[in-house]
Amino acid sequence: MPNSYKLLNGKKIAADIRAEVAADVEALKKEGWPVKLVSISMGDADASALYVRNQQRAAEKTGIAFEARHYPADIGRDELLGIIQGLNTDPRVTGIIIQRPTPAHLTERRLQRTVHPLKDVEGMHPSNIGDIVYSDLKMGPCTAVAAVELLKSTGITLEGLEVTVIGHSAIVGKPIAFLLMALGATVTVCHHETRNIAMHSRSADAVFVAVGKPGLVTGKMLKPGAVLIDIGINQIETSDGPKVVGDADFESCADVAGWITPVPGGVGPVTVATLLRNSVTAARLQSEHYASEFATRKSV
């Protein structure tokens, strides 16, 4: 396999973001606004335990306080919504994370809508997603923002770039499309009803894929020299045991692509770093909100 492609090292990009976050967190502490995240998980603790540990480890390394709360699967809807509302009004808490999966009677969308937009560090509240449509990004969905960050790291001019996004979920594919359009790219979005995905991907300068199907994108589907951002995370069985892979066939795509993300080690680390950066943004927005609402006004 020729070594003509460049590997987009998500770990390096994430490290740079974390360094900026650590400096911002320290500055906020000096201003009297320490950053604190509260993680809420429900039901089977093992299902989200790894994500919670990774988030806590990353947060504490940058000086962000992290509190993990776990509730039983049968917790009442009104009780949990009341808990979230309490966190919304607690000035000591600057960010709230809703872990997945959620019990059937507690829909993810309802819980996310209950989190105040200024504390929505995951960027999934309809208000924060809607801001992307108006090119007013404050805290966007972490995975979508991270994927676009990786494309920016190539140094390619985004104005006029032809991009194909494969996958149109509300928190990944669609936000990526709007983020790229705001940067001047021409975007085509493919989904399960698209008749010929390869026709679109072969004409693109950059391809994003996020559908949860290992091996969906192959080298034959790419323009030579294109950027491939693989957001998929899938576990497959091999002769050597379980293996984590993306939605693209890395070997064949690496023969054609100019830049390519590894899985793992590509979008994942930048997603966590983006969560931390959103946490700083949330704290600063809250600081500004409290200052404007409650600062003592001098009489004329």
Condensed to tens digits (0 to 9), the pLDDT of residues 275-295 reads 999 999 999 999 999 888 876
pLDDT digits (tens, 9 = 90+) for 30-84: 999 999 999 999 998 887 898 999 999 999 999 999 999 999 999 999 999 999 9
Helical pair 173-182 and 142-152, crossing angle rounded to 10 deg: 40
pLDDT digits (tens, 9 = 90+) for 112-160: 999 999 999 999 999 999 999 999 999 999 999 999 999 999 999 999 9
Instruction: Specify whether the CB–CB gap between 83 and 41 falls below 8 A.
Output: no
Instruction: Specify whether the CB–CB gap between 158 and 187 falls below 8 A.
Output: no
pTM over 0.75: yes
Distance, in Å, from the CA atom of 274 to the CA atom of 235, rounded to the nearest integer, reads 24
Strand (E) or helix (H) holding 68 = strand 65-71
Distance, in Å, from the CA atom of 55 to the CA atom of 18, rounded to the nearest integer, reads 12
Distance, in Å, from the CA atom of 147 to the CA atom of 227, rounded to the nearest integer, reads 11
Amino acid identity, position 49: A
pLDDT digits (tens, 9 = 90+) for 232-260: 999 999 888 999 999 999 999 999 999 99
